[in-house]
Homo-oligomer: A and B are copies of this chain.
Amino acid sequence: MSKLAWLRKPIRGVLMDITGVLYESGERKAIEGSTEAIKMLRSADIPFRFITNETQKTREQLDGLLHQLGYDVFEKEIIMCVPAAKKFIRDLSYRPFLLVHPNVEPEFQDCDQFSPNCVIVGDAAENFTYENLNQAFHVLNNNKDSILISLGKGKYYREHGNLVLDVGPFAAALEFASERQAIVIGKPGEEFFRMALDDMKLRPDEVVMIGDDIVGDVGGAQSVGMRGILVRTGKYRTADEAHATVKPDAIVKNLKEVIDRIVSMDRPYKPILPQ
């Protein structure tokens, strides 16, 4: 397949991961060319959304950080796991035990957390202590109807130059101990991608997803019918290009390179109006 085959179909919308695409985790600066790329997308009038499994920051904090880094974004353009998970547990009347980062605990303060029958595990980082994991296990073990919700299922991410464990391994630990499967709210969960598509009112085949996570971003997007583009920034590693199951539609240096292509092509991206 040609390297540019992914450009042959119209692109009417763009989904992007944030960490590793707009900035490197743990670094307080934008990835080269990324602020310009977002400006170009907005000038070209191509709808876009950010879709992130970030669960160490609230939407407001993340929006604030992006502005500090020079990004011109709106809070409503950021699709996050925590609001989606809150809606899920409210609709089904679950009372959560939180194994999440202290930064996002306040977001759940209006949820009934008494006598929990549900564990919500996010990227808790230093909060992943033996004691906290034992408590989460007890909630699952004491009630066979209690459920495990994982905010994404990423394996690892890059922080201060090192790879560190993401939520996925800890969800896997609780799955193994409690003999049940986590409900994944976040990438690569299909429902989460569909929420973003609905928000843009676009079909999967009209949208490309750009991310640094071969499985969570690229594989997840492809599984709902989007094109998946891998950037060589963030947690990208050379080995990702030979991944056993996921083959990206394109692999690019960074966000700038892919957005350059999208906005500069001979306008196959304008809406094709009904005849």
A114 within 8 A of B: no
B169 touches A141 (CB 8 A): no
The count of residues in chain A whose C-beta lies closer than 8 Å to any C-beta of chain B is: 29
Q: Cβ of A169: which chain B residues have Cβ within 8 Å of it? A: 133, 137, 173-174, 176-177
Binding site for B on A (CB under 8 A): 125-130, 133-134, 137-138, 141, 144, 155-156, 162-165, 168-170, 172-177, 179, 239
Taking A165-B177, A172-B176 as given, write out 10 further A-B residue pairs in contact, using a Cβ cutoff of 8 Å, ordered by the A residue number: A127-B130, A129-B130, A130-B164, A134-B165, A138-B163, A141-B156, A155-B179, A168-B176, A169-B173, A170-B173
Contacting pair B162 A177 (CB below 8 A):
no
The answer to whether A168 touches B177, judged by C-beta atoms less than 8 angstroms apart, is: yes
Q: How far is the CB of A238 from chain B (nearest CB, A)?
A: 12
Verify A164–B128 contact, CB threshold 8 A.
Answer: no
From B130, B138, B155, B168, contact of A128 by CB (8 A): B130
Contact of A134 among B144, B164, B175 (CB under 8 A): B164
**Interchain CA distance A141-B172 in the complex, whole Å:** 17
- Least CB separation from A215: chain B residue: B179
Cβ B165 vs Cβ A130 within 8 A: yes
List, in ascending order, chain B residues with CB within 8 A of A168's CB. Answer: 176-177
Q: Which of A163, A165, A173 has the most CB of B within 10 A?
A: A173
Known: A169-B177, A174-B169. A130 touches B125 (CB 8 A): yes
Name A142's closest neighbour in chain B (CB-CB). Answer: B163
Question: A161 to chain B: closest CB distance in Å?
Answer: 12
In the complex, the answer to whether A137 meets B125 with C-beta atoms within 8 Å is no
Chain B residue with the shortest CB-CB distance to A237: B141
Min CB gap A168→B, angstroms: 6
Chain B residues contacting A239 (CB-CB under 8 Å) are: 144
12 contacting pairs across A/B (C-beta < 8 A)? A125-B130, A128-B133, A129-B129, A129-B130, A134-B164, A137-B156, A137-B163, A138-B162, A141-B156, A141-B163, A172-B173, A172-B176
Minimum distance in angstroms from A189 CB to a CB of chain B: 16
Write the nearest CB–CB distance from A130 to chain B, whole angstroms. 5
